[in-house]
Amino acid sequence: MDAQTTTPSTAPQPATAEKTLSITVTPKAALKAREALVKRGTPQAMLRLGVRGGGCSGFSYVIEFAEEPSARDRVFEFDGVKVVVDPKSLIFLNGTTLDYETKLMSHGFKFVNPNEKTSCGCGESFTV
Amino acid sequence: MIVRDRSDRLTSARYDEAQDSMALLQIFDPKARPEPIGIDLGTTNSLVAHVVDGRATCVLDCDLSPLLPSVVHYASHGGVLVGAEARDLAAEHPRETLVSVKRFMGRGADDPETRRLGPYDFVSPREGESNTVRFRVRERVVTPVEVSAEILKVLKSRAESHLRTVGGAVITVPAYFDDAQRQATRDAARLAGLEVLRLLNEPTAAALAYGLDKGRTQGTFAVYDLGGGTFDITVLSLDDGVFQVRSTGGDSQLGGDDMDRAVALDALHAMGFEDLATVPPTLVRRALDAARAAKHALTDATETALTIERDGDAPYVRTLTRDDFDALVRPVVERTGPACRRALRDAGVKPEALDGVILVGGSTRVPLVRRYVKELFHHEPLADIDPDQVVAFGAALQADMLAGTGPREDALILDVIPLSLGIETMGGVAEKILPRNTTIPAGRAQQFTTYADNQTGFILHVVQGERELAADNRSLATFTLKGIPPMPAGAARLEVTFRVDADGLLSVGAKELTTGIEQHVEVKPSYGLEAEDVERMLMESFEFAEQDIAARQLRERVVEAEQVLGATQKALTIDGDLLDEDERAELEGALRALRDAMQSGDRQAIHLRTEGVDRAALPLAERRMNRAVQRAMSGHALQEFEEELKDRPVHPHLVGDGHTH
Are B269 and B157 within one domain? no
Q: Comparing C-alpha atoms, which of B149, B57, B38 is closest to residue B497?
A: B149
* CB pair distance less than 8 Å for A47 and B435: no
- Interface check B15 vs A, CB under 8 A: yes
B102 catalytic residue (yes or no): yes
**pLDDT of res. B316:** 92
Q: Report pLDDT for B451.
A: 77
CATH code assigned at B358: 3.30.420.40
Residues of B in contact with A56 (CB under 8 A): 15, 62, 161, 659, 661
pTM of the model: 0.60
Residue A27 located in a structural domain = yes
Q: Which of A53, A108, A121 sits opposite B62 (nearest CB)?
A: A121
- Regarding whether B451 and B305 lie in a shared domain, the answer is no
Could A58 and B1 be called an inter-chain contact, meaning their C-beta atoms sit closer than 8 Å?
A: yes
* pLDDT for position B94: 87
Interface test with B, best of A88, A113, A127 (most B CBs within 10 A): A88
B494 & B618 share domain = no
Q: Are residues B196 and B314 in the same domain?
A: no
Structural domain for A29, as ranges: 22-127
Active-site choice (B40, B146, B468, B512) = B40
User: CA B373, CA A80: separation in Å to the nearest integer?
Assistant: 59
Nearby residues of B390 by Cβ (< 8 Å), 6 or more positions away: B205, B206, B209, B210, B358, B360
**DSSP of B275-336:** SGGGS-HHHHHHHHHHHHHHHHHHHH-SEEEEEEEETTEEEEEEEEEHHHHHHHHHHHHHTH
CB of B595 less than 8 A from some CB of A: no
Query: Known catalytic residue: B251?
Result: no
From the candidates B35, B187, B225, B289, which is the catalytic residue?
A: B225
Q: List chain A residues with CB under 8 Å of B539.
A: 71-72
Q: Do residues B509 and B455 touch, judged by C-beta distance below 8 A?
A: no
**Which CATH number covers residue A112?**
2.60.300.12
Please check whether residue A95 lies inside any domain of the structure. Answer: yes
Put simply, the chain B residues between 465 and 484 with a CB less than 8 A from any chain A CB are 466
ipTM for the assembly: 0.73
For B521, residues 6+ apart whose C-beta sits below 8 A from its C-beta are B460, B462, B477, B479, B507, B508
Do B570 and B614 belong together in one domain? yes
A2 versus B338: the higher-pLDDT residue is B338
Query: Is the CB of B534 inside 8 Å of chain A's CB atoms?
Result: no
Best residue of B14, B21, B25, B606 to probe chain A, by most A CBs closer than 10 Å:
B25
B528 domain-assigned: yes
Give me the domain span that covers residue B485.
421-543
Into how many domains does chain B fold? 5
Mark whether B203 and B60 lie in a shared domain: yes
Instruction: Answer whether B24 sits within 8 Å of A111, measured CB to CB.
Output: no
B77 & B159 share domain: yes
* Rounded distance between C-alpha atoms, residue A114 and residue A94, angstroms: 8
Same domain, B446 and B394: no
Q: Same domain, yes or no, for B94 and B187?
A: yes
Radius of gyration for the alpha carbons in chain B, expressed in angstroms and rounded: 28
In the residue annotation, B424 being an active-site residue is answered as no
For every residue of B526-572, DSSP letters joined together read TTT--HHHHHHHHHHHHHTHHHHHHHHHHHHHHHHHHHHHHHHHHHH
- Residues B195 and B319 both lie in one domain: no
Phi, psi of A56 (to 5 degrees): -70, -25
The reply to whether B19 touches chain A by the CB within 8 Å rule is: yes
Q: Please name the member of A11, A62, A123 whose beta carbon is closest to the beta carbon of B22.
A: A123
Question: Do residue A88 and residue B541 have CB atoms under 8 angstroms apart?
Answer: yes
Does the residue B55 lie in any domain? yes
CB contact under 8 A, A110 and B17: no
> Chain B: nearest CA to A32, how far in angstroms?
10
Domain count, chain A: 1
Residue B416 pairs with which residues in a beta bridge? Answer: B439
Closest chain A residue by Cα to residue B603? A11
At B14, give phi and psi (nearest 5°): -60, -40
Distance, in Å, from the CA atom of B82 to the CA atom of B192, rounded to the nearest integer, reads: 13
Domain contains A38: yes
User: What is the per-residue pLDDT for B263?
Assistant: 95
Q: What is the pLDDT of residue B124?
A: 82
A9 inside domain: no
Residue B652: per-residue pLDDT: 66
Report the residue from A41, A47, A56 with minimal CB separation from B62. Answer: A56
Same domain, B321 and B354: no
Asked whether B468 and B552 are in contact (CB, 8 A), the reply is yes
Q: B226 CB contacts (<8 Å, ≥6 apart)?
A: B254, B255, B256, B336, B360, B361, B363, B364, B369
Mean pLDDT across chain A, nearest whole number?
78
Decide if B82 contacts B150 (C-beta within 8 A): yes
**Is A121 inside any structural domain?**
yes
Chunked mean pLDDT (size 10), chain B, 661 residues: 29 29 71 87 94 87 87 87 91 87 85 74 80 86 93 92 84 87 90 89 93 84 92 89 85 88 92 81 86 94 93 89 96 95 92 95 95 95 94 94 54 59 86 80 80 80 86 83 81 84 78 82 67 73 78 84 86 85 89 89 87 88 78 51 42 48 35
Q: Which residues fall within 8 angstroms of residue B500, CB to CB, at 6 or more apart?
A: B417, B421, B434, B438, B440, B441, B442, B443, B506, B525
Decide if B647 is inside a domain. no
Assign A24 a pLDDT band (cuts: 50, 70, 90).
very high
Q: Assess whether B456 and B491 both reside in one domain.
A: yes
pLDDT, one tens digit per residue, over A48-74 is 999 876 555 567 788 999 998 888 899
Question: Within a domain: residue B415?
Answer: no
Given B35, B102, B424, B562, the catalytic residue? B102
Q: Is B309 a catalytic residue?
A: no
Residue B638 inside a domain? The answer is no
- Return the residue of B nearest to A128 by Cα: B1
Strand ranges for A1-128 from DSSP E:
24-25, 46-53, 59-66, 74-78, 81-85, 97-102, 107-112, 118-119, 125-127
Sequence-separated (6 or more) residues with CB below 8 Å from residue A67: A42, A45, A46
DSSP at A124: S
Distance from CA of B645 to the nearest CA of A (A): 35
